[in-house]
Amino acid sequence: MAALKEGDKAPVFKGKDQHGKTLSLTDLKGKRVILYFYPKDMTPGCTTQACNLRDNYTALLKKGYAVVGVSTDSEQSHQKFIEKYELPFTLLADEDKTIVNQYGVFGEKQMMGKTYDGIFRTTFLIDENGVIAHIIKKPDTKNHTEEILERWK
């Protein structure tokens, strides 16, 4: 699959949220969607990013955005993450890696000299018509909401 780019139709994802309910991009039709992919629940960078979105969630809602996070963690892991940090948005459990592969954000990574497969932290801003308006690669976890608002006015 070729890498997704701005202007492409967003792949229609479908996954289970932290409560086991299915959510699809088609369920969000007519909304601007912040679809963010992150490596792992409860890790420092992922927690910082989630809390930044949480702290600015009301402002994002006022602008008509829906926030959806995706990682390969389980529904139970997402439940604990949401409860511990009082996250007000949906997290999808992509344990079989279907969504991360659809969006091309899973692959070989390196850290401290070790190679492993994992998620590339990436955010897709999808417009009301299901088109990718912006892609933020390697978002600044501490200032992620600002990055989103700067690109998507």
DSSP annotation of 72: S
Three-state SS at 107: strand
Tell me, yes or no, if 51 is annotated catalytic: no
**Total count of domains within the chain:** 1
pLDDT given at position 54? 98
pLDDT given at position 47? 96
For residue 5, being part of any structural domain is answered with no
**Which range of residues forms the domain containing residue 43?**
14-151
Whether 57 shows a pLDDT value over 90: the answer reads: yes
Q: H-helix or E-strand containing 35?
A: strand 32-37
Q: Residue 98 in contact with residue 81, Cβ under 8 Å?
A: no
CATH number at residue 106: 3.40.30.10
For residue 9, being part of any structural domain is answered with no
For residue 71, being part of any structural domain is answered with yes
For residue 33, being part of any structural domain is answered with yes
For residue 78, being part of any structural domain is answered with yes
As given in the structure block, the two tokens for residue 66 are 């829906």
- Count, in order, helices (H) and strands (E) of the chain: 5, 9
For residue 100, being part of any structural domain is answered with yes
Taken in order 115, 102, 104, 18, the sign of the CA dihedral is: negative
For residue 6, being part of any structural domain is answered with no
pLDDT given at position 20? 94
- The whole-model pTM stands at 0.94
Write down the catalytic residue from 25, 35, 46, 68. Answer: 46
Q: pLDDT by residue (tens digit) across 60-94?
A: 999 999 999 999 999 999 999 999 999 999 999 99
Summarize the confidence of residues 51-57 as an average pLDDT.
98
Q: H-helix or E-strand containing 126?
A: strand 122-126
Q: With bands split at pLDDT 50, 70 and 90, how would you rate the model's confidence at 2?
A: low
Whether 1 shows a pLDDT value over 60: the answer reads: no
